[in-house]
Amino acid sequence: MSKVLIIEDEQSIAELEKDYLELYAFEVSIENDGKKGLDRAILENYDIVIVDLMLPSIDGFEICKRIREIKDIPILVVSAKKEDIDKIRGLELGADDYITKPFSPSELVARVKAHLSRYERLRGTGTGQENEFIEIRGIKIDKTARRVFVNGEEKILTTKEFDLLAFLAGNPNRVFTKEELFKEIWNMDSFGDIATVTVHIKKIREKIELNTAKPQYIETIWGVGYRFKV
Ligand code: CA
């Protein structure tokens, strides 16, 4: 099921879009605020983002630009003003399509479907089964293919290193104790040697961090454990 994020401050419009997309079995989330919408678009895994241009805190122009810097997902821009659409087209911020309000809900669904299938083709998955990715600030973890890329460069991790990294990144900003991580990744009770966790964290950092003394991804919370920072 494809996941859609709608960033729209007019609740009635957002609800209308949501209702219609849900009829076609899309899983839809709504965010009314620009900044929060941008955060969710980046941190959570959506297949497509529908963004209004005029929004509180951060506008749709900035949202397009920022999503595009990090993520390769379709962005559909919605605006009441044709001039704004012309403007965003001219700025080439990376939006894939534009719709002027008012639009028919069926047109919206048609465009969403078209862009999703286009991206699927571009990715060359073609099987209908999309790889599951976690992407946070330059790091891209392909959970399906079990591959890790940092700023586009592939890093080779061992099985347990990968499991540990994917687990931490999949639960961003949560602090886990070494015991919890040991239990989670090594599938044993916490009677094993939890120093294993420390060793693995060190190895992962050597592979993914620019400066292991100042890790930007996996942070040590002294006396507690680790967390993946976002
Ligand atoms: Ca608006």
Q: Are residues 96 and 166 in the same domain?
A: no
Task: State the Cα–Cα distance between residues 60 and 56, nearest whole angstrom.
Answer: 10
pLDDT tens string 125-136: 545 456 688 988
Q: Are residues 100 and 12 in the same domain?
A: yes
- Give distance in angstroms: CA of 20 to centre of ligand 1: 19
- Give distance in angstroms: CA of 150 to centre of ligand 1: 35
Q: Which residues pair with 226 in a beta bridge?
A: 176, 220
Percent of the chain with pLDDT over 70: 93
Token code pair at residue 143: 């959970």
Residue pair 160/151 in contact (Cβ under 8 Å)? The answer is no
Q: Are residues 15 and 84 in the same domain?
A: yes
What residue type is 214 in one-letter code? Answer: K
Pick 228 or 86 by higher pLDDT.
Answer: 228
Cis ω on the peptide bond leading into residue 74 (within 30° of 0)?
no
Total structural domains within the chain: 2
- Give distance in angstroms: CA of 9 to centre of ligand 1: 5
| CA torsion through residues 193, 195, 200, 203, sign | negative
Task: State the Cα–Cα distance between residues 156 and 127, nearest whole angstrom.
Answer: 26
Q: Is residue 128 part of a domain?
A: no
Q: Residue 176 is part of which domain span?
A: 133-228
How confident is residue 84, by pLDDT bands cut at 50, 70 and 90?
confident
Q: Tell me, what's the pLDDT at 168?
A: 96
Q: What is the pTM of this model?
A: 0.55
Q: Are residues 185 and 150 in the same domain?
A: yes
- Give distance in angstroms: CA of 133 to centre of ligand 1: 30
Of 123, 145, 165, which residue constitutes the final position of a domain?
Answer: 123
* Structure letter (DSSP) for residue 2: -
- Give distance in angstroms: CA of 56 to centre of ligand 1: 8
Residue pair 101/13 in contact (Cβ under 8 Å)? The answer is yes
Of 92, 123, 154, which residue constitutes the final position of a domain?
Answer: 123
* Structure letter (DSSP) for residue 185: H
Of 123, 145, 166, which residue constitutes the final position of a domain?
Answer: 123
Q: Cβ neighbours of residue 213 under 8 Å, at least 6 residues apart? A: none
